[in-house]
C-alpha cells in the first residue's frame, strides 16, 4: 500500500489554490475545495476520505484550511491561527436561559481537539497563534454577537464556517484533524470593505510553504491526544 497521505480541505477553490501553490512536493498532500459551511465541509470531506480508503490509499491526517475572521486584538487581519480546539458555536438550542449546546441536551459533541504535538509544531513553523477556532453557520456581523461568542468561548481567536464539519468527517474515519486559518477580517460589525481576502490568501499560502514538511512527517504516534472531546460548549 502506498504511503498514507494528508488531505487539506478548503471551502473554495481560491483557498485550495493558495494551499496547492505552496506545496513544492505535493505527492503526499492532496488539496480539495469542499464548499462553504459545516454541512458541505463534512459531506465533501467524508466522501473524499471514504473514496481514498476504498481505493486502498487512505489518508492519515485531515486539515481544514482557509481564511477566517479574527477576534481582535489577539488575531489581527493577516495573522495566522492554528486551532488547539475546533468548536461549533451555534449547534444547540435557544432556551429562556440562553444558548444551550447540544452536549447539554444530551447529544453529540461540540469540540474536537487536534493532536497537541501537531498544533505546536505547526504553529511554531508558521508563527501562528494557537487557540480555539469557532465554526459558525452564520458569519458574525455585530459587535454584540462577537462579544457573546467571546464570553462563551474566552479562548476563541478566530471563527470560520468549516472546521467542525471537516473534523466530524475525520473523526468518523478515525483520523486526526487540524485547522489552520489566515485572518481576512475582524469578527464584529459587518463591513465588507475591511475584508482583506487577498492578503489572507497570501498568508495562507506562505503558511503552507512552511508547514507542509511538518504535516508530511508528523506521525499519529507522536501524540495520543487526538480524539478527546470537550463537552463544555
Ligand atoms: O457578507 C459578507 O460581507 C461576506 C463577504 C465576504 C465573504 C463572506 C463569507 O461569508 C465568506 C465565508 C467563507 O470565508 C470564511 N470566513 C472568512 N471570514 C469569516 C468570518 O468572519 N466568519 C466566518 N467565516 C469566515 C468561512 O470559513 C467561509 O468559507 C461574507
Reported ipTM: the value is 0.91
Distances from the Cα of 53 to the Cα of 5, 43, 60, 69, 172, angstroms: 11, 15, 10, 33, 13
Residue 221 lies in a domain: yes
Domain assignment of residue 46, given as a range = 6-231
Distances from the Cα of 142 to the Cα of 30, 78, 225, 230, angstroms: 36, 21, 35, 27
Residue 166 lies in a domain: yes
Residue 63 lies in a domain: yes
Which tens digit of pLDDT belongs to each residue from 69-118? 999 999 999 999 999 999 999 999 999 999 999 999 999 999 999 999 99
Residue 171 lies in a domain: yes
Q: Measuring from atom 5 of ligand 1, which residue has the nearest CA? A: 192
Q: Please count the structural domains in the chain.
A: 1
What are 170's three cell numbers? 475525520
Rg (CA), the chain: 17
Nearest to 17 by CA among 161, 201, 185: 201
The gap from C-alpha 183 to its chain's centroid, in whole angstroms, comes to 12
CA 14 – CA 182 distance, rounded (Å): 13
Residue 113 lies in a domain: yes
Ligand 1 binding pocket mutation candidate from 160, 180, 187 (most atoms within 8 A of CB) = 160
Residue 114 lies in a domain: yes
pTM over 0.90: yes
Distance, CA 157 to ligand 1 centroid (Å)? 15
Residue 96 lies in a domain: yes
- pLDDT of residue 233 exceeding 90, the answer is no
What are 73's three cell numbers? 486584538
What are 35's three cell numbers? 464548499
Q: Which atom of ligand 1 is nearest to the CA of 140?
A: 22
Q: Measuring from atom 16 of ligand 1, which residue has the nearest CA? A: 68
Which tens digit of pLDDT belongs to each residue from 8-17? 999 999 999 9
Residue 1 lies in a domain: no
Ligand 1 binding pocket mutation candidate from 37, 161, 166, 190 (most atoms within 8 A of CB) = 161
Give the CATH number, domain containing residue 74. 3.40.50.1580
Amino acid at each position: 500500500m502506498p504511503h498514507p497521505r494528508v488531505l487539506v480541505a478548503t471551502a473554495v477553490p481560491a483557498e485550495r489554490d493558495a494551499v496547492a501553490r505552496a506545496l513544492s512536493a505535493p505527492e503526499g498532500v492532496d488539496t480539495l475545495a469542499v464548499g462553504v459551511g459545516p454541512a458541505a465541509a463534512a459531506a465533501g470531506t467524508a466522501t473524499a476520505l471514504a473514496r481514498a480508503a476504498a481505493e486502498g490509499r487512505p489518508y492519515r491526517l485531515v486539515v481544514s484550511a482557509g481564511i477566517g475572521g479574527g477576534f481582535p486584538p489577539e488575531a489581527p487581519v493577516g495573522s495566522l491561527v492554528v486551532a488547539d480546539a475546533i468548536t461549533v458555536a451555534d449547534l444547540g438550542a435557544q432556551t429562556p436561559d440562553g444558548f444551550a449546546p447540544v452536549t447539554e441536551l444530551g447529544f453529540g459533541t461540540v469540540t474536537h481537539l487536534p493532536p497537541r504535538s501537531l498544533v505546536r509544531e505547526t504553529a511554531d513553523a508558521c508563527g501562528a497563534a494557537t487557540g480555539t477556532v469557532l465554526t459558525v453557520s452564520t458569519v458574525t456581523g455585530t459587535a454584540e454577537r462577537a462579544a457573546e461568542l467571546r464570553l462563551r468561548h474566552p479562548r476563541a481567536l478566530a471563527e470560520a464556517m468549516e472546521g467542525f464539519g471537516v473534523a466530524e468527517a475525520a473523526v468518523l474515519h478515525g483520523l486526526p484533524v487540524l485547522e489552520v486559518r489566515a485572518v481576512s477580517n475582524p469578527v464584529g460589525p459587518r463591513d465588507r470593505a475591511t475584508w482583506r481576502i487577498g492578503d489572507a490568501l497570501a498568508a495562507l499560502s506562505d503558511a503552507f510553504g512552511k508547514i507542509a514538511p511538518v504535516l508530511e512527517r508528523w506521525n499519529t504516534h507522536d501524540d495520543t491526544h487526538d480524539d478527546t472531546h470537550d463537552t463544555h460548549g
